Amino acid sequence: MRRLFSLLLLMLCCLSFAYAQQPDSTADQDEQATADTAPVVRRRFTGPLPFLDSVAHAAELRQQQISDSLNMVYVAAPDAARPNLYVDSILKANVYKGNHYLDLSLKSKSIQGYGHNRPTRDAWVIAVIIALLLFTSALNITSTKDMRSVFQSFYVRRTGNAAGKEDSPINAWTFIGLFLLFGFTSGIFLYLLTNGYYKVYYTVAGVQLFFTLSVVIITLFASKFLVLKFLGFVFDISKLVSEYIRALSLTYFNITFVFLPVALCFSLIADKFIPYLLVITLLLVIVIFVWQYLRSSVGIISNFRFHKFYLFVYLCALEICPILILIKALNIGFR
């Protein structure tokens, strides 16, 4: 019995000791909550830092410096005393610094502008002129003697008189070739003059207008020669008319050799030089007409006596009037 009581007392002592050693959970939870809500207090080291801590501290200072710089640029107002180079350059270039606008000129010295479209000519015009030059070269190769006679008729009076006789050194094929050359050269010259320079527009244009002008010129002058032949037959002066037609032909052929290089220059030079070119062309045509046509015509007319009124009527009807009608039909307004 005594042993049983001693054993119970020992067990009770052990249980009391074990309960006293168990931690208080409520106190631990309160202590943990207090630790979580309490602010973290960073300790400042006054002494030397370890290596890793010094690197972290330097990075933190650099990040703070960048943040402060960005705040100054994008948030803070700029310094009013700092000069603005861009604004200063604009003011220096454009602000007027004269004498109260009294020294300003009425004419601007600036050459800046919006520009204008550069006029261009048709490419086929150059091709046509090259074809006419090649055709002239072919005539010169195949009929060298006839071409030489045409050129010399302007300078040598003896050659012009020989060309005006029945036994003219110019054969029929050379005459036809030169007559076609005269028609197409006059056509391209009139096309450049009307459509290219005077800007006169018709129902047809381009290559079609060129061929139309050429055909009209060839038809008009061929009709003129036929009318002269008919008048020579009616008045029985066929020989005199034949000599006159040959004198006209030599005049037209020499004018052709003026129109051909003029048309080439016409298609290449600028518009501001065209009036000077037209003046030179007009002077050359007048010189050829006076020297070639009148010289031969006076010699022919002196051999046939008739009233001067008939000569005046002929010149108005078949020489001057057709040219005026052609100018009126083309609607050319000379400047």
The DSSP code sequence of 132-171 is HHHHHHHHHHHTHHHHHHHHHHHH-HHHHHHHTSTT-SS-
Positions of the chain with pLDDT lower than 70, given as ranges: 1-10, 12-53, 68-78, 100-119, 154-169, 293, 295-311, 315, 331-335
Q: How many CB atoms lie within 10 A of CB 328?
A: 9
163 close to 253: Cβ distance less than 8 angstroms:
no
188 close to 207: Cβ distance less than 8 angstroms:
no
Q: How many CB atoms lie within 10 A of CB 295?
A: 15
Residue 63 maps to a domain: no
SS3 263: helix
193 close to 332: Cβ distance less than 8 angstroms:
yes
Residue 21 maps to a domain: no
Residue 115 maps to a domain: no
Residue 42 maps to a domain: no
Q: For the chain, what is the domain count? A: 1
Residue type, 48: P
268 close to 201: Cβ distance less than 8 angstroms:
no
Give CA separation, 242 vs 166, 236, 248, in Å. Answer: 7, 12, 10
pLDDT of residue 43: 47
Range of the domain at 194: 123-330
User: Is residue 271 packed enough to be buried (19+ CB in 10 Å), middle (13-18) or exposed (0-12)?
Assistant: exposed
pLDDT per position as a tens digit, 11-43: 766 666 555 555 554 444 444 444 444 444 444
Local structure of residue 261 (DSSP, 8 states): H
Residue 242 maps to a domain: yes
Could you identify the residue written with the tokens 């008739």?
A: 306
Residue 174 maps to a domain: yes
pLDDT of residue 51: 57
Residue 223 maps to a domain: yes
pLDDT of residue 77: 64
Residue 103 maps to a domain: no
pLDDT of residue 7: 66
pLDDT of residue 90: 86
CA 283 from centre of chain? 33
